[in-house]
Amino acid sequence: MTDQEISELARKLTLEEKAGLCSGAGTWTLKSVERLGIPQITVTDGPHGLRLQKEAEGLTVPAVCFPPGCASACSFDVDLLEEIGAAIAAHCREENVGVLLGPAVNIKRSPLGGRNFEYYSEDPLLAGEMAAAFIKGVQKNGVGTSVKHFLANNQETRRMSVSAEVDERTLREIYMPAFEIAVKKARPWTVMSAYNKINGKYVGDHRGYLTDVLRGEWGFDGVVVSDWGAVNNRVTNLEAGLDLEMPYSGGERDAQIAEAVRSGRLDEAVPDRAVARILKLIFRCTKAPEKPPLDLEASHALARRAAAESAVLLKNEGGVLPLKEGKKAAFIGKYAKEPRFQGGGSSHINPYKVSSALACAPEGVVFAPGYDDKKDETDEKLIHEAEEAARNAEVAVVFAGLPEWKESEGFDRKDMRLPECQNELIRRVARANPRVVVVLHNGSPVEMPWIDDVAAVLEMNLGGEAVGEACVDLLYGRVSPCGKLAESFPKRLEDTPSYLNFPGERDKVRYAEGVFVGYRYYATKKMDVLFPFGHGLSYTTFEYSNLRLGAEKITDKDELTVSVDVTNTGKMSGKEIVQIYVAPPEDGEAIRPARELRAFAKVALNPGETKTVTFTLGKRAFAYYHESMRDWFVESGTYTVIAARSSIDTALSAPVYVESTAREKIHYTADTPYCDVRRDPRAVEIVSHYMREMDRLEAVFSPEAFEMLISYMPLRGVLNMNGYKAKDLEELLSKLSALE
Ligand code: BGC
């Protein structure tokens, strides 16, 4: 339907009908207007599978549960995410679902975030690219998406009322870009506004974010929908740009909209605008392209491939992995038989079929449950059995992980520990058999107090319903591990950048670490972590060579091509995730992370094969957000482009000089120190005429001290020292203001 047709249709609606369209008809439906042929559409949760509740039925429709965001992001594979999106869309179409409520792209500010299993990463570029690919996959099949939860919704504690106290630069650099990339690259049909406040104001009331940034700066043209129950004031939220309230408000808040229009408090153009967007959405959903075929078996196979692509081999000493099929293995731990493969809460899928590693294991593998995950109590009988099984096997594989009571939507974790009974089990098994492999099923990082006692660790994350098959494929080397960590694994909770400010104090949480989230913090502080962001091993080996930059010197308006050759130097086919980081100039003025991920690619290589991977870096790769300029700014200087295997493992690096074409705006006042004057040669020239007596000072200071003295001297001091009066200062400032 064209915009013209939509506005004609909207004109036929009464004020009550318009206000009504601005909220749901039920928990999962929008309102219809039969007399005008406006149909009802259904929205439903995802994001890693269809979660469709049929009225009056307890369970949701059985659907393939793909690996949640915590896992799929470790694939660093945009094509895979698009395929998953397409497969879920096929199921949505089958069930007449118009909008899938995902992807969830919030940044993992703390490893304790209860919903981290659903989110992609601590890095905004990775989260944004994963989201954009997923959205493309869903929407090209005629189903809408809802990028959530916009904005700064990074914890579960008091999630519906807490105020994220966060500065603009941090929002722009860390918490917004995943949404920005998703909106600009994939044009989602809806964006879901979050429950929380930002700097004391509910997101729903932030016109600046919901309208000016989202629509004005990023070009979003869809519907802003509230998170379920997030509306705090229907009228002010609507004015700020929150178009659709979900779920049904019982009619009360629809009436408030109509009443506000009637009383003249609200311009009717405001609900009109929201209605036009909602109608556009409804007709987008109902005029969908040809229905894609639904094949649950094929989807399950895709979930298996996705789980394998997303698993991360953290450690592999002495080549303990891959296992050899003829050798006697003991699978220990409840999760070998009943894997934990998804998180709890609104994303919980009723799986089509779940595979366990034990069921898929080669013949002869013995099993011991080791622990009961319903409670954290060491059961000596279970441990003895496990020790016995380990002693009689050539290799012991312990399946450990976080139970649902430790990790779910609705609450944050209290610690980063596995249940102690599982730690104890791993230690004891490692004493019984030196060849121990730990397989982890968790949606967020855990401490590993036993790391030095075990030979290998395979992080399966929450791997979706096919995690068991994928795990066996990897353990037995049918597939080489090729995922890398989408978040840092710190050694201990106390090391995390948000440690002192998570989950905050009462109704406020200060994002005091600023832009130093995840590896940006650890890399800058040169801190040891258990496993760094971007880390992941393979059964083969890769060599990097020939890093080439398109130029040695560019301006911030140019693009820089970066290419690097990667060779598979091992004996098995495999995939490498090449990461490109940029480090800022060493003498830069801005306080910036030591390096930031600016591009990545996953390459498949046969043994002996070399491929050239090419990237293009634009202005944003070098820029930071300059608060007073209210814009992205590139400081002139020498940047380092790093081709890396992980956030700390540099393979190759090369310098590039980037020249700024934007002049940093300086507002000159009596307090402006001379070092700021120095940024603009024209200003230096003007001020030099007022420095007639500086030689006197120069004579009594060492050159270094004189340099500092003058650098930090404000203009009023400079004039004072040189015998000028207040009126001269005024004259100087007026000359300088002409430069601003
Ligand atoms: C969650 C959303 C979800 C919605 C509907 C909310 O509580 O935060 O992510 O889409 O419920 O289930």
Give me the residue spans of the domains in the chain: 3-55+77-109+121-149+165-193+205-286, 301-525, 542-659, 674-737
For 636-653, what is the mean pLDDT?
98
Question: According to DSSP H, which parts of 416-466 are helical?
Answer: 420-432
Predicted confidence at residue 697, as pLDDT, reads: 74
Residue 696 has pLDDT above 80, yes or no: no
**How many angstroms separate the alpha carbon of residue 151 from the centre of ligand 1?**
14
Model confidence, pTM: 0.96
Predicted confidence at residue 319, as pLDDT, reads: 92
Predicted confidence at residue 643, as pLDDT, reads: 98
* Helix, strand, coil % in the chain, rounded to nearest 5: 35, 20, 45
Does domain 301-525 match CATH 3.20.20.70?
no
Predicted confidence at residue 694, as pLDDT, reads: 79
**How many angstroms separate the alpha carbon of residue 87 from the centre of ligand 1?**
21
User: What does pLDDT average to over the chain?
Assistant: 96
Residue 287 has pLDDT above 90, yes or no: no
Say which residue, 220 or 344, is predicted with more confidence: 220
The set of protein residues with a Cβ atom below 6 angstroms from ligand 1 is 45, 101, 148, 227-228, 346
**Pairing between β-strand 366-368 and β-strand 329-332 as defined by DSSP bridges:** parallel
| Atom 11 of ligand 1: nearest residue by CA position | 228
Per annotation, catalytic residue among 45, 227, 254, 556: 227
Residue 385 has pLDDT above 70, yes or no: yes
Q: State which CATH number among 3.40.50.720, 1.10.3470.10, 2.60.40.10, 3.10.105.10 fits the domain covering 542-659.
A: 2.60.40.10
For 578-603, what is the mean pLDDT?
97
Residue 216: partners with Cβ closer than 8 Å, 6 or more residues away: none
Pocket test residue of 119, 228, 349, 409 for ligand 1, highest count of atoms within 8 A of CB: 228
Q: How confident is the model at residue 701 (pLDDT cuts 50, 70, 90)?
A: confident
| Atom 2 of ligand 1: nearest residue by CA position | 227
Predicted confidence at residue 57, as pLDDT, reads: 63
Which CATH number applies to 3-55+77-109+121-149+165-193+205-286? 3.20.20.300
For 260-278, what is the mean pLDDT?
98
Residue 314 has pLDDT above 70, yes or no: yes
Instruction: Give how far Cα 313 sits from Cα of 320, 403, 440, 456, Å.
Output: 12, 21, 10, 8
Residue 702 CA to residue 9 CA, distance in Å, equals: 79
For 198-222, what is the mean pLDDT?
98
The question of whether 227 is a catalytic residue gets the answer yes
Residue 125 CA to residue 210 CA, distance in Å, equals: 21
Residue 692 has pLDDT above 90, yes or no: no
Residue 291 CA to residue 296 CA, distance in Å, equals: 15
Candidates 291, 7, 39; CA nearest to 143 is 291
Residue 267 CB coordination number (10 Å): 12
Do 275 and 18 meet the contact criterion of CB atoms below 8 Å apart? yes
Residue 56 has pLDDT above 70, yes or no: no
Residue 55 has pLDDT above 70, yes or no: no
Predicted confidence at residue 663, as pLDDT, reads: 82
Do 693 and 721 meet the contact criterion of CB atoms below 8 Å apart? yes
Ligand 1 atom nearest the C-alpha of 195 is: 8
Candidates 103, 111, 165; CA nearest to 136 is 103
Residue 666 has pLDDT above 90, yes or no: no
